Amino acid sequence: MRLHKEGKSTLIIVGIAMIIINGLLCYNAACINTIQIISIGFSVFLFSLFVNFFRNPERITNASTYEIIAPADGKVVVIEKVVEDEYFNDERLQLSIFMSPFDVHVNRNPISGIISYFKYHPGKYLMAFNPKSSTENEKTSIVIKSENGLEVLMRQIAGFLARRIVCYVKDGDTVQQGEEYGFIKFGSRIDLLLPVNTKIHVGLKETVRGGETVIAELST
């Protein structure tokens, strides 16, 4: 299993802490007891959860110029028209994907193009599936402008457990569809703000795979 670079330091710290705790339990006991067995079992289970969270599987992107792929693994929780007042200042179609702690948390570019807008917003840490999280939570907003002039706004939104948003792109960068552009730790959400005439290919509560699932198609 390939691990994401964002998880290496976390796994080292968690691993060392577990070794120390279990080592002290064993050192202070004359023989193996029930508490030690439970502690070791729980440590292995917890460490496995961390490893699972920071996995970074290979993904193959096959999409046309106008197709939009899922920027993350998770469940579609919002498909609705909204008034976007940060960048476009008009009506847009919002599609939101909720990432549980058990999903892959790598964030990928939904289309190819140039980063025409980038802004970080400090904020709260409401549950990521809460509708208010789109406006009130800590987030990073990015707009990708395709070679055809169409623009897609993405928001990485922190959740109740997510306390760190990582973004690897900046204003003016050229990005490729399916390539990694960020990571969010421990439960989060991504909003896509699309033109209102975008054709959606997924439904509410549908599970998608980042870098692979075609979730929408831009109209020319």
**Sequence spans of domains, the chain:** 5-53, 67-217
pTM: 0.81
Cα separation, 99 vs 29, in Å, equals 42
The chain-wide mean pLDDT, for the chain, equals: 85
Model confidence pLDDT, tens digit, residues 105-151:
899 999 999 999 999 988 665 655 555 556 667 889 999 999 888 89
- Angle made by CA atoms 58, 59, 62, in degrees to the nearest 5: 150
Cα separation, 35 vs 25, in Å, equals 8
CATH superfamily of 67-217: Glucose Permease (Domain IIA) (2.70.70.10)
Alpha helices by DSSP H, listed for the chain, are 8-27, 34-53, 133-136
Cα separation, 140 vs 165, in Å, equals 8
Residues of the chain short of pLDDT 50, as ranges, are: none
Which residues are the active-site residues?
188
Residue 31, number of CB atoms within 10 A of its CB:
6
Q: What element of type H or E holds 142?
A: strand 139-145
158 Cβ contact list (under 8 Å, min separation 6) = 123, 125, 128, 137, 138, 139, 164, 165, 184, 188
Comparing CA positions, the residue from 5, 183, 148 lying closest to residue 68 is 148
27 Cβ contact list (under 8 Å, min separation 6) = none
Measured in whole angstroms, how far is the alpha carbon of residue 79 from the centre of its chain? 18
Model confidence pLDDT, tens digit, residues 45-62:
888 887 887 888 888 888
